[in-house]
Amino acid sequence: MLLRIFNLKAATSLNGLELKLSRSGVTYEGAWTESWCHRRCQHRHKTIEEAAECVSPQGPAWYVFAVENGRARELSAVEQSSLEEFRRTRWPLQRAH
């Protein structure tokens, strides 16, 4: 099933820090772009790391967004920095020799 995702910031790097936000009503969902279509995992992940782990095998053009009270929203600055840290520690760049 394809669902449109509006106004979301794409995550371009993967981090290894687990962010456990326990605000009520907030879950995280992974999404990716495939053949110019937006797809989403449609799982209700409790942490950003879980959502990233779920969607990262889909390819390089994936991201995570928050779902709060049934409405999709962009990650906050704190959430986004957690995702970036997860990407950096999960897949660090290799130095050229």
Could you report the per-residue pLDDT of 84-95, keeping only the tens digit for each?
A: 988 888 765 555
- Does the structure show a pLDDT above 80 at 13? no
Contact 17, 48 (CB under 8 A): no
- pTM, two decimal places: 0.65
Per-residue pLDDT tens over the stretch 50-75: 999 998 877 778 899 999 988 999 99
Q: 29 and 45 in contact (C-beta within 8 Å)?
A: yes
